[in-house]
Amino acid sequence: MNKFIVVSYYTKGTGYQKEAAKLEASLMKYGIPYYIATIPNLGSWLKNTHFKGVFMKNILEKFFDVDIVWTDADSVFHSYPKLFDIIDCDIALHFRNWRPRPGELLIGTIYHRNNEKIRTLINNWIRFNKKNQMRRAQLNFESVFKQNKKNLDVFKLPIEYCCIFDDEKRSQIRPTVEHFQASRKYKNTVNR
């Protein structure tokens, strides 16, 4: 039995569907267990990204016997993510060190231990998103994470597991998971 499953979703009828097909092909290539869902367009890019909390809550219940790795639909796996088989923590995420925001918490790839502490974190994120509907989901998650991190065993993922394709360090590493920032192209096309 696998220790983890990779999960993601994309918005139906948008360019994200093509991105998710690339993700799926990469997961299949390396024999990585996965679940990719299609969601209806909720009316805006912001609402569609806020849905991630609800999606993760449902995923934790659906796949209760394995740990969960979220990755954005516009990511691609370049190799099998061995780290997810061996890390022992509640949550693993990447903190990007760059000039505009040193230590920026990225939510493109996140490992979640399927336990009560993570369910509490996700429930808190859902509530925070509802109260802060005009803020990006990433900033909301960062706020909730900071409030809850003292209760969590945190592992800092290396850049190889959440590498943005045009990051200044991209040419110096071999990414395991690379993110292509499709929101730069599609963000405004999903608004109704």
Distance of CA 157 to the CA centre of its chain: 12
- pLDDT for residue 37 is more than 70: yes
For residues 156-162, average pLDDT = 92
Q: What is the pLDDT of residue 188?
A: 57
- pLDDT for residue 141 is more than 80: yes
The count of structural domains within the chain is 1
Residue 189 — very low, low, confident or very high, per pLDDT cuts 50/70/90? low
Long-range residue pairs from 130-136, CB within 8 A, at least 24 positions apart, any chain:
133/46, 133/47, 133/50, 134/46, 136/46, 136/49
All residues at 6 or more sequence positions from 135 whose CB lies less than 8 Å from its CB, including other chains:
none
Note the pLDDT tens digit of each residue in 48-86: 889 999 999 999 999 999 999 999 999 999 999 999 999
Residue 165 — very low, low, confident or very high, per pLDDT cuts 50/70/90? low
Q: Give pTM, 2 decimals.
A: 0.89
Residue 173 — very low, low, confident or very high, per pLDDT cuts 50/70/90? confident
The chain-wide mean pLDDT, for the chain, equals 88
Question: What gap in Å lies between CA 68 and CA 60, rounded to an integer?
Answer: 7
Instruction: Answer yes or no: are the C-beta atoms of 76 and 61 closer than 8 Å.
Output: no
107 lies in which domain range?
4-189
CATH at 18: 3.90.550.10
- 37/179: higher pLDDT: 37
3-state secondary structure of 19: helix
Question: What gap in Å lies between CA 129 and CA 138, rounded to an integer?
Answer: 10
Q: What is the pLDDT of residue 110?
A: 97
- 185/12: higher pLDDT: 12
Q: What is the pLDDT of residue 186?
A: 47
Note the pLDDT tens digit of each residue in 78-120: 999 999 999 999 999 999 876 666 778 889 999 999 999 999 9
